Amino acid sequence: MGAVLQGPGQASVAATRAPVPLVCWFEECRKDSVALVGGKCASLGELINAGVRVPPGFALTTEGYRRFVGEAGIEDELRSVLASADPDDLEALEATSTRLRAAIEAQPFSLELEDTIAECYRKLSLRSGLPAAPVAVRSSATAEDLPDASFAGQQDTYLWIRGIDEVLHHIRRCISSLYTGRAIAYRARHHIGNDALAISVAVQKMANAYTAGVMFTLHPTNGDRSTIVIDSNFGFGESVVSGEVTPDHFVVNKITLDIIDRTISTKLVCVTVDPKTQVSMQSEVPHERQRVQSLIDDEITELAWMGKQIEKHYGRPMDIEWAIDKDMPSGGNIFILQARPETVWSNRAKQAVAASAGSAMDYILSAMLTGKKVG
Q: Could you report the per-residue pLDDT of 222-236, keeping only the tens digit for each?
A: 999 999 999 999 999
Task: Please tell me the predicted confidence (pLDDT) of residue 16.
Answer: 55
Distance in angstroms (rounded) separating the CA atoms of residues 194 and 196:
5
Q: Which helix (H) or strand (E) holds 369?
A: helix 360-369
Q: What residue type is assigned to position 348 of the chain?
A: R
Report how far Cα 29 is from the mean position of its chain's Cα atoms.
14
Q: Hey, how many other C-beta atoms are within 10 angstroms of the C-beta on 9?
A: 5
* Beta carbons within 10 angstroms of residue 65's beta carbon: 23
DSSP letters, 80-130, are HHHHH--TT-HHHHHHHHHHHHHHHHHPPPPHHHHHHHHHHHHHHHHHHTS
Position with higher pLDDT, 116 vs 77: 116
Domains of the chain plus CATH, in order, are: 23-205 (3.30.1490.20), 209-369 (3.30.470.20)
CA distance readout (Å), 173 to 42, 106, 157, 361: 21, 10, 9, 49
Pairwise CA distance, residues 242 & 31, whole Å: 26
Which pTM does this prediction carry?
A: 0.82
In this prediction, residues 322-328 reach a mean pLDDT of 95
Q: Which of 20, 28, 32 is nearest to 45 (CA)?
A: 28
25-80 tens-digit pLDDT = 999 999 899 999 998 999 999 999 999 999 999 999 999 999 998 888 878 877 77
